[in-house]
Each structure stands twice: as C-alpha cells, then as structure tokens.
Structure 1
Amino acid sequence: MRSQLTRNVYLRLLASHGLLRPCPTLSGRCLATPSRPRYFPLVARRQPRRTFFGIFQKPPRMLKEPDLEPGYDVLLHFRSIEADNARPPAREDLLKGWRQFIQYKRRNHLRALNSTQAFLTLRLLRHLATTDPEADGQGEDLSFADLRSALWVTATKPPRGTTEHHLELATLLYGEIERRIQNMRELGVDEEVIKEAVGGKDTGDFELFLTALTNYGGSMEAAERLAEFRVKLAQEEKKQVARIRVFWTLVLRGLAKEGREEELLREWKKAEEAKIEYMPPVHEVMTTFFATRDRIEETKLWFEKPIHANWLRSPRAYMEAVRFALRNGEQQWLQPIFEQLINSNPQKEWWDVIFQWAVLVMDKGVEDIKQMLQVMAASVGSEGKEGPKPDAATIDALITAAIEKQNPYLAERFLSLGAELKIRPKASTYILQMDYRLDAKDFGGVQAIYDKLLNGEVTVPQDEDLPVLNKYLRALCAVPEPDLGRILDITADLEQRHATLEPETVVSLCMVFLRNDNQYEVIDTLSLHTVSYSLEERAQVRRAFIEYCVDRKISTARVWDCYSLLRQFFPETEPEERIRLMDAFFARRRPDMACYIFGHMRSQGNLAQRPTADMYVGCLEGLGRHPDAESLRMVHNMLKMDTTVQMDTRLYNALMMAYAACEEPDVAVEFWRDITNSAEGPSYASLAIVFWACELLPYGDRTARGIWQKVQRMDLEVPPDVFWAYCGAVAGSGHLEEVVRLIRAMDASVGYGPGMMTLGVAYNALPGSERKDHFEAWAKAEYPDIWAQLEKKGRKETLLGTKFNIVRDMKA
C-alpha cells in the first residue's frame, strides 16, 4: 500500500516552514506571507463540474502519492516535531514506526540506509534511549533483537554518499547493547540469563560493530577496540580466541579500504606477533591493496607469500592479480601461477577464474574454452571424485570476461556456448546479457531480454536487475529521439515493484519529460523516488534541474515550468542556487520572474535560506540592468520588512541604481541624501550612480554640480567612470558647451585624457539631434582616433534619439 502521507511533511522537514503563495500566471505577482505560513498542494486541482457533454471526457489526471518505505513517515514526523520543539507522539507509535522501518530495511537489503535515513533513525533512537518507558505508562522498549537488527542494517550495506551518521548510529546501537548488558551484570543477573536475554550472540554484536567501523572510515578506532577485546579474551577458551582472526581481517580490510598503508603494515605486524596465520582472507586484503595501486614489487611479494597450511588463494585475489598483470604488462609472471592452479585440481569456483584468465590474458576463444571445460570435467579430485561440471556461474564468468574486454560479440558466443551445453541461464546471465547489449547500443536485443524477465522465465532475487534497468532507462533517454512509450512502460513496471530509481536515472527521465512538456510525468517521477533519497542524492537531482533552468537554448516557458517544479519538490535549494536562477531570468530579460524567485527565497521560514544583504544588492543590480518598476517596489518592500538586513552604502547604491533605471531618478537622488547622512558615507560607485540619476533627472545638472564641487574641494582622485558619469549628468540637461569644456580640461582637472566611454556617454546623454551633431563634429575634429573606436560600436535609434551601443557596467 502506498503511504498517504502528504508531500508537504517531507518538504517541511527539508526547508523548515517558509513558502510563498503560488504564482497563478507568469504575469502575476508573488507576495511574501508576513505571518504564519500556509501550505499549498503541488498542483492546484480544479473542482470538477458535471455537464452533459463532459461525460465523454477523460477523468482528470491524478497525481501519484510518494512511495514511502514502511515506518519512514514516523521518522520524518518525529524529526519535524523535534525541530519545532513540540511534544513528541506517543512512545508506542514511535516504537512501532522505528521497528517497521528497520524490519523493512532488513528484508529489502538492496535498499541501503542512506545518510538522511541514518540521521532520522539516529534521532529517534536517541529519543527512545534517553526517555523512560514508564513515563507514558508504557513499559515497552526496544529489545536486543531490535537493536541488533538495526546494527546489522547499518553495518552491512554501505550507501552511496556520506556516511558520518552511519558511524554515529552504529556506535550508539552497540553502546546501547553494551550498556544494557552491563546494567544487568550490576544488578547481579546470572551470565546464562544474560546470554539468553541477549539472544546467545557472544561476539556477533562486536563483529557487526567492527564491520560498521571499517565500512565507514573508523578503522583506526576498530583497531583500538580490537586491542581492548583481545585483553578481555586473553583467558577465554580457544574457540573464542579463534574469532579474533575474523576481527583482525575486518580491521585490515578497513585500513586497506581507507588507504592507510603505514597503519595496515603495522597492524599486520601486530597480528603476526599474536600468532595470527597468513590466511586467504588476509592474503586477499594485502594483495588487493598493492595490486590496485599498481605497486609491482609489493604486489608480487604479498601474492607469492606462502599461505598457512597451503590453502589456495581466494578467487578474488586471483582476479585482482589478473587485472594487475593486464595493466602492468606482467602476463609472463602470471603464467606459472595459473598453471600451478590448474594442476592443483581446484574446485569449480577457481576453475571459473581460470576461464576468465584464459579469456582476458591468454586471449582464448570459444573453441579453446570448450577444450578447457573438457579438461575440467576430466580432472579427478583428491577423493577420487569426478571433476566439476560447467554451470550458469561458469557462463556468467565467461560473459563477464568478454564484457571486460569490451567484446559483445564474444559475449554472445559464450551465451550460445551455454545453450549448446544445455545450461539453463540464471537471472544474472540475463542481466549480464542486457548489460553488454546496452554497451553495444542494441536496444532491440535489450528489450527482448527485458521481456523475458517480465514474463517470468527466471526469478530475479532481491531486485538484482535494478542496476541494469537503470542503465537501460538512461540509455533510452540519451538517444536523440527517446521512445517515450517504452520508457513509460518500464517505469510503470518498476512502480508496481515499488522500486526506487537511482538519482542519475531520475535526472535522465525528468530531462526527457521536460523537453517533451510532460510535466505530470516529472511530478510522478519526483514524487515516487526523491522522497526516499538522501539530501546528497536530492542535491544531485536538484542540480540537474538548475542546469536545465540556466540553459539559454531552452524556452522561457519551459524553464519557468521547470523552476516551479524545482521550487515545490526541492525547498531545500540553497540561496546561492536560487540567486543563480534569478540571474538566469535577468539574463533572459524577465525581471518579473527573477524577482519571483527572489521573493520565494525571502519567504523561507529557515533564516539560513533567506537572502543576505549581498543578495539584495545583486537583485537590485539586476533591476538596474533590466528595469521593472512593479518588481522593484516588491523587492524594496521586502527589504523594508527584513529585520535581518542592515542598510549600508552598497544597498543604498543598489536602490539608487534600480530606481534610476525604472525612470524614477528623483527617488534615486533621495537615496543619495541617505548615503551622505550615514556614518559610512558615499563610495566611488555612489558617485557614478548618482551622476547617472542626475543625467535622467530634469535639471539634474544642478544637483550634479553641487556634488562635483564637493569632490573637487576634497581633492579626491576621480576614477574615469565617475568623470564620464558627471559629463553625462551635465549633458543630460543639454549643456553642450560645458561638456566640451570639461572634456578639454580633463588633463588638468583629473590627470588623464578622454576615452571612448567619455565621448560615448556624453553623446548618448545629449538631448536632441542638433546637439548630438554639434558634439560629433567637435569630437571628430578633436579626438579622431577615439571617435573612430566609438564608431565601431555602432548606433541604434531610440525614443530619445540616436545612441551608441556602449554598456555602462555599474556596480553597487
């Protein structure tokens, strides 16, 4: 059954409580909600009307509910309440939800506990462990079996992405188990009773804890814990001490995984001193560590080192040696090693590795493999038994080798060999077949195999086909003209299986649906899958939506649709990402849409997601480049109501710039007065902007002259952009002769001569074609080279006359 939890529960958890009223149209206005936020559904559904002619119409499309894992809604709800410092639900309900979630994760082991789920599980476990079960009149508490199941789920399936919460959760679980055992001992409970209460697991919990430590970057702590454990077991019986071999192997594997070579060698030296034998698992760890780093001498040394009691090296160690030899040209070194393995009459698992070696290193074909199969079958074991027979695992090994060689034709021949030998393929065989056919772009062949799996020719255990189906969907989406019908059929089948797609696949699907204007399919895809993602996985999908929105090749209407979905499904979008989207709409010359985005950010309940002073400046600068008076008033009102932002010169500059661009220079000049009355005072950017406002203001030259006189009295160094802005202010009121005098006297007054922008700004500001013609004639005669550069920019006709195509890039 699908959970009926509303989407807003999860979204509130991620984004706190801030939302805006939805924008009804592209031309509508968004207003920030100043009081308690209200929540709106993702898509507004109209009330259906029953009419005579409507009886033949299709029913409205219903949106699919999120496919939450059992019990996960309880974890989400508890965290939401905890964040609000509200009273938690009844302990009985919390226990039930926690158990449901852990039991589901244990049954469906392929669905790893992601970082967000680990965090939520940790928070609820802390609450349950630190509160008294008797407080609510209920004596029920988490059992040892509950804690052990959670430890197993946490330790044995590492997720994608970050794992800091996994390590913390495993430590808390193991610590709670140990704490309860210690409490029972302090109460004088007999050890046999304790053992029965715990479940008879003497060292199983410790092994799970070590597994978690070594899986999640805590191998150094694991080594310390093992040293403490060895001290405790110093006087124990031999069978207990023998478990230390397993624990030490875990520690060594963890150190190797973390790349700690010095600690790895030191820990192995301690193991040798403790009489730990060089067994196949340890051989595999040490060989793999150096082989994957292409350390030739060390790899050979550890691989050839004699193993205790002449045990065979593990199949994985042999395969690592094969790949190492191929990368480093050490095939000759490998030859006698595999000849010795063949002559030892190994079991079938090792024969499968021998076949892979033959294909990868010796370049053997199907006929050669047939002869080797006969040799395997004719071999006689140590007990006089017949040699092993090839099976589906053998065919899988051969196909895997062909895939590694990137030879799909050879893989097909090995598949035919299996049919010739009457070996019934397993689900893994079909999955491998789909994999190499995908690499060969044989979509018809892939679909044929997929149909066989759908028809139930073999049973696919534990959703083992999900990785290749994800790859298939991504490949279908990557073609120039995707087959939407086939894509929807596959996603519908996976939906029936309650399968969660990988983030990369969700990205591919959503991008195809967006390009084809299938917004409902995007909504369904996000609803069904992203609700179970970790924050890192959600960020992966979110970044793809942002890249789609900033792509200038995509129409504005489609981009706005994409942004609307992004806003609804990813309220945790970072402010920097929202600013990037805002800038993208400014670049599309849609300041109204850009300011909607800014308004959505301003209305967030989480203070960390609200705009900063710099972000206000960026928005107002955008309005200065692409003016929109109504949007400006909206943003200015937000700024007035925002108690977290203190006004400074940059903000006043930005407001002055925006109001000047929106044809309200009189308001802009008022902000200049605010700047001069402030403790911080004006900047050079303030001067350039106020002179521009004076250029647009009737009789603005009077204000500009007063400011200029103060600048000269203070003997300030005048940057070029400030000087040409002042020239524009004087020219804007039609004072041609004064502008000419200013430019001629530049060397004496400011220490440098005119440039292209000096002439261009003055020309553009002059009103009337007659004044422009007089200025052009003078400038051509006085500064021909500079005027020639200006001419190259070209001119355009505006309502205010002819203007050069120059850009005044002002910043607050």
Structure 2
Amino acid sequence: MRPRSVRQLSRPPFLRELLHSRCAYRLLPALFLSLPHQLHQQRNISVPRFLARNSTPTRPESPPGFDIFDALVRHLDKKIGPAPSPEAVAYAMAQFVRYCNSQPMRGYQAKRLRRGYEYLRAQGTRVGTSTLSSALEVLKGGGEEQLKLARLLWKDLLETNGYKLNKKDLLRYITTLCASKCVDEAVELSRQHVDVAGGGPWIQVMSAFTKQGNEEGLLEAVEFLRARPEGMAGWLYFYPVDFYCHCDKLKNALTWFERAMEDGKENVPAVYVVILEACLRTGQLEFGSGPAQKIVKDGHEEMKKEDWEVVLRFVAAQGGSMEEQQRILDRMQSEPDLKTINNLISAAVTQRNHGAVDHYLAQLAQLGLQPDHSTLELKLRSFIYRNDLTAAWSVYEDLKYTQEIPAGYTGLTPQDLLRAMVKDYPNCDLTKAAAIYQDLAELKIRLTPRTLLPLVDAYLQEEAFENVKDLLNKHVGHFSPEERKSVIELLVVHGQRDTTSVEALWNTYMSLIRSFPETSITKREIFMNLFFEQNRPFAAVRILEHMGMTDDRKPTKYQYTAAFVGIGNARNLQCLEKAYRMLNMDPFVEVDTVLRNALMFAFAHCGLFERAFEVYEQIARSQEGPNHATISQVFDICSRITYGLLRAKKLWAGYRRMGIELTANNVASYVEAISKHGAWDDAWDVVKNMEQDLGFPPDEKVYVTPLSCVMRRLIGVGVFRLSTLFSMFKRNRLPELEEWLEKTYPETWDKIMERVNAQMVAEEARSRTYVNLNTGEITKAPRVMNGEEDIDPMR
C-alpha cells in the first residue's frame, strides 16, 4: 500500500485533452500541474472553438491549370521537381484562360501565366491564335503584370503566319493599354489601324482621357476624327460633352453639342441626358434650354423612360407649364411610376413651387400609386418651406408610423423640421422638438451642425443644461474643427446676453470647457471678464485657475492683466491672493510694465497701498520703466492715503527734474491727488502755469479736477470725503475759482460745468449699494440677477 504522504505525480496531458478539456494546461502547465487535483476544476477556461475542431483546415482549391504553373516556377527558380512538359503547360494555359473569362485576372496570376508562356516560347512550342486572342480578352482589367503579358501576346499574335488583324483583337489590346494608363500608345495604334477598327478603340481612348482629365489629348483625338473624310461618328461627340460637363464647363459642353448639330450628326440620348443632368447639378439651367427644347420637339427613338425623366426634371426645374410637362409624360413609352412622380415633386420643392407639389400629389392619387418614404419626405420638406409647421408635424407622424426606414437613412428632412421648430424660440414647441430628437437618437442618427446649433441655443435659453450636456457629448465629437468653433461661438454669445443669469453663465462656461477642451484662452477670458462685470470675482479667478491647469491653454500676461484689473474693481482681497500666487508660480509669463500696472491697481483698490508702492518700485527699477499709465496710477494711490501729499509732490518734482514728458492725464491725476489733500493753491498754480511749464494748455479734465473736488467738499457727497480737512476749507474760494476759469477759458466753460455735473451724478450712483435681502450679500452688479428680485437700494 502506498504511503499517504507521497503524492502521485501528474502525468503530462495528451493532445486531445489540451483541445477538448477546459483546464489551463495550455497557458500555465507548470503551475497547473503543481496544484493539488482538488483545485484543478477551479481554474477552468474556455478553449477557442477553432482549437477544439478535429478536422484540419483544407487548402483552398487553386484555379484550373494553376498547379502546373506553380510546379514550373518551382523548377525554374528553385530547381525543385521535374519541369512539366510543354504540352501540359499549353493545356494548362488554355484551361486557366477559360477560367478567367468569369472573373478578372489578378497580378500574380498574370505573372505566373507570363512565366509559363515564356517557357513555351523557349521550348519552341507555338500557341494557337484563338488562345492568344482569348488571353487578351481576360487582360482588359489592366495592371503592370497584365500589361507585360498583353504586349508579349500582341507581339506574337502579329508575327503568327497567316494571322490577319481584326477589329476584336485590336480593341482588346487597346482596352488593356488604356486600363494600364498607356493612353498615348493606344492613340498611336488607333491612328495606325483606324480603317480596321473604326471608332470602337476611340471609345476606350476618349474614356481614358476623360478619367485622366486630359483635355488636350481628348481634343486632339476629336480633331483627328473630324478631319477624316467620313468625319466623326455622332455618338463620339458624347465624350467631349461628357468631359466638360464633369468639369462644370457647361458653355464648352454646349459648344460641342451644337458642333455635332453643325456637322449633321444626330446626338445619342446620352448627350442630352449628361448635359441636362449637369445643368441640374450646377444650377446653370440656361445652358440646357436648347438641348431640352430640341429633344422635346423632335424626340428620339432611342430615348428610354429614365432619359425622359431627366428631361422632365429639367423642364420642371425651369418652371415649365403643366401642359409641357404633360406632353413629356405622354412621350414616355410607359405610364409614369412612383419614381417619376417623386422626381417631379423634388424639382417643384427645389423651386419652391408649392402649387406644383400639390398638383403632383393629387396626380399620384389619380394614378392609384401609394406614397412611399421619399414622397412623404418631399411633402414634409414642402410644408417646412411654407412655414406650416402644424401640417409638417402631421406629415412627420405619417412618415414615422406608416413607412419603413430605408438602409443608411440620414434623417436630414426630420432634422430640417427640428430646426424649423426651435429657430423661433421662445415661440416654439420644445416638446415636439424633443420628440423628434428622441426619434433620431433611437435611429442612431447624428445631428448636423445646422440642426445642433439652434437646438442647443433653445436649451441654453431654457436653462436646460442637462439636455445641452447630452447634445454636446453625443454629437460634437464627429464635427470638423470649423464646426466645433461654431458651437463654441454660440456658447460664448449666450454668455454675453443680458438675460443670462449668473448661474446660467457658470453652467454655460462649464459646458464649454468640458465639451471643448480646445477652447482658446481668448474665449475663456471673455467668460472671466463677464464674471467680473457681474461682481463675481471668485468665479472669474476660478476660470483663471482652469487656464493654468491646461497643458496648452496657459494664461498669458494679457489674461493676468485683465484679472488684476477686475479684482481691483471688485476689491476682493482673497481673489487677489489667489491670482497673485498663480502669477508668482507661473514660470512662463513675462511680467512687463502693463501687468505690473494692473497689479498695482489691484493692490491699491484692495487697500494694500504699501504693496502697491512696492510694485511701483519694481517698475521704477525695471529695464522697461514706468509708462504714463504708471504715473497716473501712482498719483491716484497718493490721493488715497493720509501721507500721500508729500509723496505726490516728491514724485512730481522727480519727474520734472528728470525731464519726463508728462501727458494731460498725468497732470490731471497729480492735480486731483493734491486737491483731495486740500492743497488748492498748489493745484491752482499747476493749472495756471501748465502751458508755460509743460508746453500744452490744460484740457477739460484738468479744469474739472480741482473744481469737482471743491464741489464734493461743499455738498459732502461721494466716497472721497475729507472730513479731517473740512474745517480748513475756505468756502469763499469757490467763486474765485469759478471766476478765473470762466474768464481764462470762456469757450470751454460750459463743457466744464457739464462735466462737473456728470461727475457728481456718477459719484451719486456709485455710492448706492444694493443689499440682497435673501442672502445678505452686498453687490454692485450692473443688473439684477434672476433670484435676486428682493433687492433694496440703500445709501
């Protein structure tokens, strides 16, 4: 008896067990065999079906006679096996040529056949002319190897004793040349043997020139045929007409059509059809009037029903009368079917001839024909063009419930109805529009940009952002870059509307960056500035942070400048800290004077005047130096602090000493700064001596600055109250100032008073603060947002 401690070793699995078992022998044999037998069933896997088959795959059958060529090539190239006899090779060649009559010959097959034929020539075996002609027939598909074989066969065929060149063999060889893009050689052969082949080879030549777009070669062939004594056959005029129609050169096509008439040749129906179809495609109907009138008047015995339908569509597109169209219908060899009526309705819808549409629909009932899917779509489109959306909706329901959806359906007509329903928002029925969109979604039809844009716009104004998100996620992925830009522009335009609330503005921005990560920083900056205008600096700074999180949409100095200006106007210290931290940690931003000016503006308006002066010192020490805006801002900071008078005078003296060219705005800022500190005499002296010291007279702003400061002190209105200096103010100085201004600058005195009054009204408006009774927030937003109706204007 075997000891229990000794475990029986597993034997290697048999092949049938690997194929039929569900165990993991094949993947991990060593690990699997080392496991106890109790765990073998817990590691089952499914064996692929092709591994579980007992039958071995069979080799596909080769074409008849091809095995002989394989054996011959192995003998010639690798010296393997005996060479087949010439008789066997010749028989295999005949068999393979008969086989290729039912399907085109491939390149590798033509190469094997050529090797076999060269072997026969080397052995001195001649192949019959019937086999050579049949071989030329199967080479008409063209190709590099087919061309080599065809040239070899053609050469031997001409050298065969007793062979007389015939039209069929010449046409076969020329067809192979044209298919292999050797059109010049085909032209030369056609010219040499024009008496034998007639016009047959020229069909292939002209078709090849048309495919290549070789106008010069085509015209040379046409002129050669026209120069012959018997002229060019009438049906060959189709090719120059067809060439120019495909190039949309309808004037040239009409010239060749008329030239055939001048030569006394009767054009085939294809000439009329191709020129009328080109006119319908390009909309240049004037070039088809002559051919249409001739075919309608004279008729043609070879005209088929399909050709007459093209003529009928052209006459309908031209706005022909019902009597004329009826005459064309009478010329048809059979009664008009549903396709004919649909073509007529399509032409009438294109021409917006709604009366003709109703007439053809009535005629459809008279003929006992039932409308199909195309008929109802045309009827639906007609009602859309009439702007009769009620009737269009009724037709759409008939289309949806009575007709089967064709394969490859794009749903363009229902999309047109959807677009027509939502374009007049809010005067539209979004419920029906949503139903149409749901039907299109069930059919997995993607919306076109022309449909998506008005639908997204309607949902944006409805503030249905879940629907907006669904539309963007499902449909903009396959749009082109230009189409995606149009959707981005729509979202930006919606954000700039006055009716867009703050919450809707944020949702619009989030929809933008989530669906379009390629949104430029310029578009993102627009949303940032909109939030600053709404006095929502936290949202604006968040947008700036989003820019910094992207890989290729980093904020530049222009975005930082706009952000600091907006933060300064909002006077929000927390947002200033965030934006300033971002700027310090951004290694790619080049800080210049303009950006530092905005930073200085933000520090000053947030009450950090010492930090603002530190920024000014950085500007003064920089290589670029301060500009005129810097000078005006630093004077403005001096007007806001208690010790600013001394700093303002020191800076003014320094600028004058260094010979810096000051502007009128700089002078106005300095005058305002010292006026707010009560230095009225100094301000008056600067204004009086301005033309003498600086070389230009004071403008309105310089006049108004000290006067407006005085008037603010008198009526005590505005944020710039100087209560500490009120007792020092001499009220009798105001008439003296007014008298001097009126006497010195009488021509601008009225403008000065208008500007002073306007400034006082503006100060009164800025001093009003709106308190939201719902949330307790203080806001200076220029308009009342949705949800903030209970706002009380407080002093």
1:247 deviates by 5.7
Conservation of the 8 A alpha-carbon contact between 1:284 and 1:314: no
CA deviations on 1:158-193 (whole Å, 9 max, x unpaired) are xxxxxxxxxxxxxxxxxxxxxxxxxx98xx988899
**Gap change, CA 1:346 and 1:514, over 3 Å in 2:** same
Which position in structure 2 is the counterpart of 1:249?
A: 210
Distance 1:690 1:205 in 2: 82
Task: Please state if 1:717 is matched with 2:648.
Answer: no
1:527 to 2:473 alignment = yes
Where does structure 2 lack aligned partners over 5 or more consecutive residues? 1-106, 117-138, 146-176, 191-199, 226-231, 715-725, 769-795
Q: Name the residue aligned to 2:312.
A: 355
Contact 1:797 1:803 in 2 (8 A): no
Paired letter, 2:210: T
**CA offsets per residue over residues 442-480 of structure 1, 9 Å max, x none?**
21222222222221424433114x111111111010134
Classify 1:595/1:790 alpha carbon distance in 2 versus 1 (closer, same or farther; 3 Å): farther
AA aligned opposite 2:548: R
Question: How far 1:701 moved relative to its partner?
Answer: 2.4
Q: Is the 8 A contact 1:546 1:577 kept in 2?
A: yes
- Residue number in structure 1 paired with 2:457: 511
Going from structure 1 to structure 2, the CA distance change for 1:618 and 1:413 (only over 3 Å counts) comes to: same
Q: Once the two structures are superposed, what CA deviation does each residue of 1:432-451 show, in whole Å capped at 9, x if it has no partner?
A: 11111100012122222222
2:329 corresponding residue in structure 1: 373
Q: Which has the higher contact order (CA 8 A, sep 6+)?
A: 1
**Contact (CA 8 Å) 1:764, 1:802: kept in 2 or not?**
no
Counterpart AA for 1:478? K
Is 1:322–1:361's contact at 8 Å kept on the other side of the alignment?
no
Structure whose CA Rg is larger = 2
SS of structure 1 residue aligned to 2:299 = helix
Contact 1:347/1:388, CA 8 A, preserved across alignment:
no
- Alignment partners' CA distance in 2, 1:447 and 1:800: 58
Deviation track 1:20-46 (CA, whole Å, cap 9, x = no partner) reads xxxxxxxxxxxxxxxxxxxxxxxxxxx
Q: Which residue of 1 aligns with 2:131?
A: none
Q: 1:57-76 alignment to 2 at 5 Å?
A: none
Residues 513 and 519 of structure 1 are in contact (CA less than 8 Å); yes or no, is this contact kept in structure 2? yes
Conserved? CA contact 1:325–1:334, under 8 Å: no
Match runs of 1:276-675 below 5 Å: 280=238, 283-287=241-245, 289=247, 298=252, 300-306=254-260, 310-311=267-268, 312-313=270-271, 315-321=273-279, 333=290, 336-339=293-296, 342-344=299-301, 346-361=303-318, 363-365=320-322, 369-376=325-332, 387-464=333-410, 466-480=411-425, 481-604=427-550, 606=551, 608-675=552-619
Post-superposition offset of 1:610: 0.9
Find the partner of 1:768 among 702, 713, 719: 713
How big is each residue's C-alpha offset from its partner over 1:726-775, in whole Å with a ceiling of 9 and x where there is no partner?
Answer: 21222232212211111111111111222221133445566733659767
After superposition, the Cα gap between the structure-2 partners of 1:327 and 1:593, relative to the gap in structure 1 and judged at 3 Å, is farther
Superposed displacement of residue 318, structure 1: 0.8
Residues 322, 452 of structure 1: alpha-carbon distance in 2 compared, 3 angstrom cutoff: closer
Please say if residues 595 and 635 of structure 1, whose CA atoms lie closer than 8 Å, have aligned partners that are also in contact: yes
Give 1:791's aligned residue. 753
- Relative to structure 1, the CA distance from residue 283 to residue 675 in structure 2 (aligned partners, 3 Å threshold; closer, same or farther) is same
Q: 1:636 to 1:342 in 2, by over 3 A?
A: farther
- Taking the aligned partners of 1:648 and 1:753, their CA distance within structure 2 comes to 32
Q: Report Cα offsets for 1:361-416 as digits up to 9, x if no partner.
A: 36312x5534542332xxxxxxxxxx133112211221122223322122121111
Q: Distance in 2 between the 1:803 and 1:266 partners?
A: 78
8 A Cα contact 1:659 1:665, kept in partner: yes
**Displacement of 1:235 after TM fit?**
8.4
Deviations 1:763-809 (A, max 9, x none): 5566733659767544432234545324334446699889999xxxx
**How many angstroms does 1:535 deviate by?**
3.0
Contact 1:579–1:615, Cα closer than 8 Å, also in 2: yes
Q: Rate the CA distance shift 1:515–1:694 in 2: closer, same or farther, 3 A.
A: same
Seen in structure 2, the aligned counterparts of structure 1 residues 527 and 632 have a Cα distance that, compared at 3 Å, is same
2:651 aligned residue (690, 707, 720): 707
Cα RMSD (Å): 4.1
Q: Retained in 2: the 8 A contact 1:760–1:804? A: no
Q: Which residue of 1 aligns with 2:181?
A: 230
Structure 2 Cα separation of the partners of residues 634 and 551 of structure 1: 28
Q: By how many angstroms is 1:300 displaced?
A: 3.4
CA contact (8 A) 2:275 2:288 kept: no
> Cα offset for 1:249?
3.2
Give CA-to-partner distance per residue, 1:459-517, whole Å, 9 cap, x none. 433114x1111111110101342212111111111111111111221111111112122
Alignment of 1:45-194 (within 5 A): none
Q: 1: CA distance between counterparts of 2:317 and 2:417? A: 26
Looking at structure 1, the residues matched to 178 and 741 of structure 2 have their Cα atoms a distance apart, in angstroms, of 85
The percent identity for this pair of structures is: 22
Give the 3 Å change call, closer, same or farther, for CA 581–189 of structure 1 in structure 2: farther
Equivalent residue of 1:748, what SS? helix
Partner deviation per Cα, 1:675-712 (whole Å, 9 max, x = no partner): 11112211222212222222223222222222222221
Q: Which amino acid aligns with 2:339?
A: A
Q: Distance in 2 between matches of 1:560 and 1:778?
A: 55
**SS of alignment partner, residue 639 of structure 2:** helix
Q: CA deviation at 1:314?
A: 5.6
Q: 1:429 to 1:305 in 2, by over 3 A?
A: farther
- Could you tell me how far apart the structure 2 residues matched to 1:544 and 1:496 are? 26
Of 716-725 and 624-633, the range deviating more from structure 2: 624-633
Q: How far apart, CA to CA, are the structure 1 residues paired with 2:748 and 2:613? A: 32
- What displacement does 1:274 show? 10
The one-letter code sitting in structure 1 at the alignment partner of 2:276 is Y
CA contact (8 A) 2:668 2:705 kept: yes
Q: Is the 8 A contact 2:342 2:374 kept in 1?
A: yes
Do the aligned residues in 1 keep the contact of 2:496 with 2:530 (CA within 8 Å)?
A: yes
Aligned position for 1:100: none
Matched, 1:754 2:698: yes
Q: C-alpha offsets along residues 549-577 of structure 1, whole Å, 9 cap, x if unaligned?
A: 12234333322221121121111111122
- Range moving further from structure 2, 502-511 or 401-410: 401-410
Cα distance change of structure 1 residues 322 and 612 upon mapping to structure 2, 3 Å threshold: closer
Q: Secondary structure in 2 aligned to 1:571? A: coil
- Relative to 1, partners in 2 of residues 1:267 and 1:732: Cα closer, same or farther, differing over 3 Å? farther
Structure 2 contact 273–311 (Cα < 8 Å) conserved = no
Asked if 1 retains the 8 angstrom alpha-carbon contact of 2:639 and 2:677, the reply is yes
Distance 1:368 1:443, change over 3 A: same
TM-score normalized by structure 1? 0.62
Are the aligned partners of 1:530 and 1:538 in contact in 2 as well (CA < 8 Å)? yes
Deviation, structure 1 residue 596: 2.4
Q: How does 1:24-35 map to 2 (within 5 A)?
A: none
1:591–1:626 CA contact under 8 A, matched in 2: yes
SS in 2 for 1:461: coil
Shift of the 647–319 alpha-carbon distance from structure 1 to 2, 3 Å rule, reads same
1:306 partner SS? helix
Change (3 A) 1:804 1:300: farther
Q: TM-score, normalised by structure 2?
A: 0.63
